[in-house]
Amino acid sequence: MKTIQLYDSREARLKPVKSLRGDNIIRMYICGPTVYDYSHIGHFKTFIVYDTMVRFLKYAGFDVMHVVNITDIDDKIIRRANEEGRSYREVSEEFTEDFIANWRALNLLPPYALPRATYHIRDMHRIIETLIERGYAYVADGNVYFSVRRFGKYGEISKQSIDDLIAGYRVEEGEGKRDPLDFALWKRAKPGDPSWDSPWGRGRPGWHIECTAMSSKLLDPPFEIHGGGEDLKFPHHENERAQTNSYIGGEAVYIWTHVGILKMAKEKMSKSLGNIVTMRDLLRIMHPDTIRIFVISTHYRKQSEYSDEKIREAQNIQRRIQSVYTRLLRAEEGGIEIDVNQYREEILSHLSNDLNTPAALSTFMSFLDELSSALASRGLSKETREDALRLYKEIQYIFGLQLETSLETRGILELLINVRKELRKRRIYDVADMIRDELAKKGVILEDIGEDTIYYTV
Ligand SMILES: [Zn+2]
């Protein structure tokens, strides 16, 4: 296979993906959600892209350790908690659960870790203390600020010089700052807000230090890949880089990747779809494969648009992939040979080129055209059929598709799960177990998690 290359935003060039320590592991840190509301299709564009990247790297033979953080303390969370008379913890846990449920429904691989920021306050203290000792940070009346000018290479990710920034970019407000560019590592507690003890008095962490603490603790920088939405380049990633680099005394990240934002084409949306923006509502009416196909139909670095038309296109592709698959499974032996491997090589070469999923998908669709016309005429040879099924499985894995579970099948599965739940409630365990065992024989595994039952196919 060709060397996999990814675009590094900082050096503005394609770089070969390699394991920095030669242990075959790619360490990846992805900036996760701030959990103050239900997840949105826009957030999941980023996570679907990274899931595809992780899957492709694993397919290519790497081991991947990917960490996705949960920002569970923030102004918006506190505001919502105060408005609803709840604790910040109740709010953040509710929306963390929503995030995880969507993650599962969309068939994203479980991350190596899903750390919550507030579980790493001590780690943040340790890093802040080191930064103060080395002169990169200073204390001002219970706040701690990072000194941006002390870190010389600020602005390389978002391609802005310190002078540009001073000339008008937004700078954080703060008491006792020596320079308007400096940003908070630790914020003095405001009355009534959640706060933690610290060497500088009670307070709470700044947003950026969270990611430095969690990536340093879990991935031990330097690490291979850092990810997040394009909107995080400045100030978040500039600040994160300034902190982590100063803390470890070197370049913390080998490749900084960024995903183009998803725009909502409101004027181009039908009423029904236009109102649906939360992932949990969207998943009620749409096959998860359709959502994944919609996302990978645009190159990850480009902005994409969520519109009726785009969703319809993705739906057509999903149905095509599903229907040719069903025909292929049922096909009887015939005489046509297709060079499946040529398509495979082309797909992999597109994916190796900065994860060009739209080109890979389009090659796969051409393959389906050839397959489909062969199935309609003299049929496929035994070898071609077997290799076509193998390529299907590979594509299914890399794109994270669930194939078998069409929307109708999902409806029936959910009905069976509910019937089984009711049977268990009434202590009719033998029939409940029969449902579980029979489904397992068909490759559908039910797993009880607390009150809930999830299912997946094997
Ligand atoms: Zn982050």
Are 154 and 174 contained in the same domain? yes
- Say how many Å lie between the CA of residue 208 and the centre of ligand 1: 6
- Say how many Å lie between the CA of residue 234 and the centre of ligand 1: 11
Most confident option among 164-178, 294-308, 399-413 = 294-308
Are 112 and 205 contained in the same domain? yes
Are 116 and 170 contained in the same domain? yes
Provide, rounded to the nearest whole percent, the portion of the chain with pLDDT above 90. 78
117, part of any domain: yes
Span of 11-25, 59-73, 274-288 with lowest mean pLDDT: 274-288
| Listed residues 399, 420, 436: the one ending a domain | 399
Per residue in 21-56, pLDDT (tens digit) is: 999 999 999 999 999 999 989 899 999 999 999 999
Are 118 and 183 contained in the same domain? yes
Write the CATH number for 386: 1.10.730.10
Are 138 and 192 contained in the same domain? yes
Angle subtended by helix axes 382-399 and 288-296, to nearest 10: 80
262, part of any domain: no
In angstroms, rounded to a whole number, what is the distance separating the alpha carbons of residues 51 and 30? Answer: 10
276, part of any domain: no
- Say how many Å lie between the CA of residue 243 and the centre of ligand 1: 12
- Say how many Å lie between the CA of residue 257 and the centre of ligand 1: 12
Q: Judge whether residue 379 has pLDDT over 70.
A: yes
Confidence of residue 269 (pLDDT cuts 50, 70, 90): low
Are 25 and 75 contained in the same domain? yes
Are 214 and 314 contained in the same domain? no
- Say how many Å lie between the CA of residue 146 and the centre of ligand 1: 16
- Say how many Å lie between the CA of residue 309 and the centre of ligand 1: 33
In angstroms, rounded to a whole number, what is the distance separating the alpha carbons of residues 205 and 222? Answer: 23
- The pLDDT of residue 404: 66
280, part of any domain: no
122, part of any domain: yes
In angstroms, rounded to a whole number, what is the distance separating the alpha carbons of residues 7 and 362? Answer: 21
- Say how many Å lie between the CA of residue 199 and the centre of ligand 1: 24
- Say how many Å lie between the CA of residue 275 and the centre of ligand 1: 29
- Say how many Å lie between the CA of residue 346 and the centre of ligand 1: 34
- Closest of 180, 179, 171, 186 to residue 235, by C-alpha: 171
- Say how many Å lie between the CA of residue 446 and the centre of ligand 1: 34
- Say how many Å lie between the CA of residue 27 and the centre of ligand 1: 15
- Tell me the mean pLDDT in the region 274-278: 72
Q: For residue 444, give both structure tokens.
A: 């559908």
- Say how many Å lie between the CA of residue 160 and the centre of ligand 1: 19
Are 70 and 164 contained in the same domain? yes
Q: What is the dihedral of CA 98, 100, 101, 102, to 10 degrees?
A: 90
- Tell me the mean pLDDT in the region 139-147: 96
- Say how many Å lie between the CA of residue 214 and the centre of ligand 1: 9
What does the mean pLDDT of the chain come to? 92
- The pLDDT of residue 208: 96
Confidence of residue 202 (pLDDT cuts 50, 70, 90): very high
Other beta carbons less than 10 A from residue 23's beta carbon: 9
- Domain span at 375: 286-399
- Say how many Å lie between the CA of residue 78 and the centre of ligand 1: 19
- Tell me the mean pLDDT in the region 113-120: 97
- Say how many Å lie between the CA of residue 283 and the centre of ligand 1: 27
- Say how many Å lie between the CA of residue 236 and the centre of ligand 1: 6
Confidence of residue 308 (pLDDT cuts 50, 70, 90): confident
Q: How would you class 320 by CB atoms within 10 Å of its CB: exposed for 0-12, middle for 13-18, buried for 19 or more?
A: middle
Are 170 and 52 contained in the same domain? yes
- Answer whether 75's CB lies under 8 Å from 173's CB: no
Write the CATH number for 153: 3.40.50.620
134, part of any domain: yes
- The pLDDT of residue 267: 62
Structural domain tally of the chain?
3
| Listed residues 351, 368, 399: the one ending a domain | 399
Per residue in 338-361, pLDDT (tens digit) is: 999 999 999 999 999 999 999 999
Span of 212-226, 291-305, 394-408 with lowest mean pLDDT: 394-408
- The pLDDT of residue 271: 59
In angstroms, rounded to a whole number, what is the distance separating the alpha carbons of residues 40 and 19? Answer: 33
Q: Judge whether residue 247 has pLDDT over 80.
A: yes
- Say how many Å lie between the CA of residue 233 and the centre of ligand 1: 10
Helix (H, G, I), strand (E, B), or coil: what is residue 3? coil
- Say how many Å lie between the CA of residue 191 and the centre of ligand 1: 27
Are 353 and 425 contained in the same domain? no
Are 141 and 159 contained in the same domain? yes
Are 75 and 206 contained in the same domain? yes
Residue with tokens 């930064």: 131
76, part of any domain: yes
Other beta carbons less than 10 A from residue 141's beta carbon: 9
Q: Judge whether residue 172 has pLDDT over 80.
A: no
In angstroms, rounded to a whole number, what is the distance separating the alpha carbons of residues 194 and 189? Answer: 8
In angstroms, rounded to a whole number, what is the distance separating the alpha carbons of residues 346 and 337? Answer: 18
φ and ψ at residue 239, rounded to 5 degrees: -70, -40
Q: Judge whether residue 367 has pLDDT over 90.
A: yes
In angstroms, rounded to a whole number, what is the distance separating the alpha carbons of residues 201 and 420? Answer: 54
Q: Judge whether residue 170 has pLDDT over 70.
A: no
- Say how many Å lie between the CA of residue 185 and the centre of ligand 1: 13
| Listed residues 351, 373, 399: the one ending a domain | 399
- Say how many Å lie between the CA of residue 128 and the centre of ligand 1: 16
425, part of any domain: yes
- Say how many Å lie between the CA of residue 31 and the centre of ligand 1: 4
